[in-house]
Structure 1
Amino acid sequence: MLPPPWTPPPAPVLALTPDPLTPIRDITHAHFQAGETVVVLKGVAGGELWGDAMRIVAPSWHTPTDEDGWRLRDPTGGAQTYTTGHPRYLVHLSRRCPDCLIHLRAMEDTFLPRFADREEVIDCGWYTTTALGQLVHLADARGGR
């Protein structure tokens, strides 16, 4: 008997929701190290925050913010395997870190109640990827890019 065909998960529902916390997060480049696993939070799914898990590869200049950033690799591949992100966009997955836990808790307290009655995967529209392959929070985008 053949296994059932694989069905991809449903695409996230876009619900543009301002994120006032990440753009003001005070986290330095040195907080993260190459080889660590991080998540870029993107929204809410089934009462929890969700995002893209990435592996930090190397330091990289983050053009949208003109600050030190990190080159990130998406271990699942896809159309955009590597991106560059600012440290304030990242939350540790590979270790329990007080700074990241505080940020995660603030994000949960702010956004989970807004979507408490919804079960689908919700993309809050906080990030875009530039033509240079750089992940940028919409609050950091220059001139709407």
Structure 2
Amino acid sequence: MPPPNTGIPVLSPTPDPVTPDRDITHRHFQPREEVLVLKGIARGRLWGRSMRVVTPSWHTPTDKDGWRLRDPNGGRQTYITAHPGYLAHATGHCPDCLIYLHAMEEHSLPEGPHGADPVDCGWYTTTALGQLVHVADTRGGQ
């Protein structure tokens, strides 16, 4: 399923090598925490979608425990289910998430677009069942 038309340019999906190998367990996140799903690059920095962790939910594409997330801004899909490896704490106080964000910066920023406008790097898609899936994730029941 293609990303919704948000007016943000979308690059051809180029899987990042960091997220698929990330080993973060379901227990790393808790209900009510604010998390970030990285989407792309803007002004030479990573940008993403801020979400709120709601409740545990089975992530069908990876056949793993995932989280039901809520987009506080609403939109076409206010609720989605995501694998924990796709998420980073938004607060900046979590060492594991900071390492992940730094690795994503090292990989993505030198090769990415350098303009001021946000660019969606196409790392994720959302299935018809509201499941967020990384484009390199071929495990399980996708």
Regarding TM over 0.5, the answer is: yes
Asked if the contact 1:11–1:121 (Cα under 8 Å) also holds between the matched residues in 2, the reply is no
% identity of equivalent residues: 64
Q: Deviations over 1:4-63 (max 9, x none)?
A: xxxxxx722111232111011000000000000000001101111011100000000000
C-alpha contact 2:81 2:132 (8 A) present in aligned 1: yes
Partners in 2 of 1:128 and 1:12 — Cα distance?
15
2:123 aligned with 1:120: no
Q: Unpaired runs of 5+ in structure 2? A: 1-5
**Distance in 1 between the 2:77 and 2:113 partners?**
31
In structure 1, the residue matched to 2:21 is 24
- Post-superposition offset of 1:114: 1.5
Q: Does 1:50 align with 2:47?
A: yes
Q: How many residues align?
A: 135
**Higher mean C-alpha displacement, 83-92 vs 95-104:** 95-104
2:79 is aligned, of 78, 82, 86, to 82
Partner in structure 1 of residue 3 of structure 2: none
CA RMSD after TM alignment: 1.7
Deviation (angstroms), 1:103: 0.3
What TM-score do you get using the length of structure 2 for normalisation?
0.89
Q: Which residue of 1 aligns with 2:7?
A: 11
User: TM-score if structure 1 supplies the norm length?
Assistant: 0.87
Report deviation, 1:90. 0.2
**Alpha carbons 2:63, 2:139 under 8 Å: kept:** no
What amino acid is the match of 1:14? V
Alpha-carbon shift at residue 120 of structure 1 (Å): 1.9
Quick one: structure 1 residues 95 and 142, their matched pair in 2 at CA, closer, same or farther if it must change by over 3 Å?
closer
Distance apart, 1:139 and its partner CA: 1.2
Report the counterpart of residue 37 of structure 2 in structure 1.
40
Q: SS where residue 7 of structure 2 aligns? A: coil
Structure 1 residues 113-134: Cα deviation after superposition (integer angstroms, max 9, x where no partner):
1236322211110111111111
The 8 Å contact of residues 36 and 94 in structure 1, kept in 2 or not, is answered as no
Structure number, greater radius of gyration: 1
* 3-state secondary structure, aligned to 2:17: coil
CA contact (8 A) 1:55 1:74 kept: yes
Letter in 2 for 1:51: G
